[in-house]
Amino acid sequence: RVEWGSFLLADAERRLLANALLDFSNERFILLSESCIPVYNFPTVYKYLIGSTYSFVESYDDPTRYGRGRYNRKMLPHIKLYQWRKGSQWFEMQRSVATYIVSDTKYYNLFKKYCKPACYPDEHYIPTYLNMFHGSLNANRTITWVDWSMGGPHPAKYEGVNVTKGFIQSIRNNGTLCSYNDELTSVCYLFARKFAPSALEPLLNLSSTVMNF
Asked if 67 contacts 84 with a C-beta cutoff of 8 angstroms, the reply is yes
Domain range for 154: 7-211
Main-chain phi, psi angles of 32, to 5 degrees = -130, 165
Q: What is the pLDDT of residue 154?
A: 82
| Structural domain contains residue 178 | yes
194 backbone φψ class: left, alpha, beta (φ>0; ψ -120 to 50):
beta
- Residue 127: partners with Cβ closer than 8 Å, 6 or more residues away: 57, 58, 59, 60, 85, 86, 87
Return the higher-pLDDT residue of 73 and 153. Answer: 73
CA–CA separation, 97 and 28 (whole Å): 10
Asked if 66 contacts 5 with a C-beta cutoff of 8 angstroms, the reply is no
Residue 118 is classified by DSSP as T
CA–CA separation, 4 and 68 (whole Å): 20
CA–CA separation, 140 and 92 (whole Å): 11
| Structural domain contains residue 40 | yes
Q: In the chain, how many domains are there?
A: 1
| Structural domain contains residue 87 | yes
Pick from 165, 184, 162: nearest CA to 175: 184
Cα dihedral across residues 27, 30, 31, 34: positive or negative: negative
Q: What is the pLDDT of residue 137?
A: 97
| Structural domain contains residue 152 | yes
| Model confidence band, residue 206 (pLDDT cutoffs 50, 70, 90) | confident
Average pLDDT of the segment spanning 149-172: 89
| Structural domain contains residue 1 | no
| Model confidence band, residue 189 (pLDDT cutoffs 50, 70, 90) | very high
CA–CA separation, 189 and 172 (whole Å): 7
Q: What is the pLDDT of residue 95?
A: 98
pTM of the predicted protein model: 0.93
Cα dihedral across residues 85, 189, 18, 153: positive or negative: positive
* Residue pLDDT, tens place only, 57-105: 999 999 999 999 999 999 999 999 999 999 999 999 999 999 999 999 9
| Structural domain contains residue 2 | no
| Model confidence band, residue 13 (pLDDT cutoffs 50, 70, 90) | very high
Which has the minimum average pLDDT: 1-5, 30-34, 43-47?
1-5
Q: What is the pLDDT of residue 35?
A: 94
CA–CA separation, 154 and 156 (whole Å): 7
Residue 186 has a CB neighbour count (10 Å cut-off) of: 12
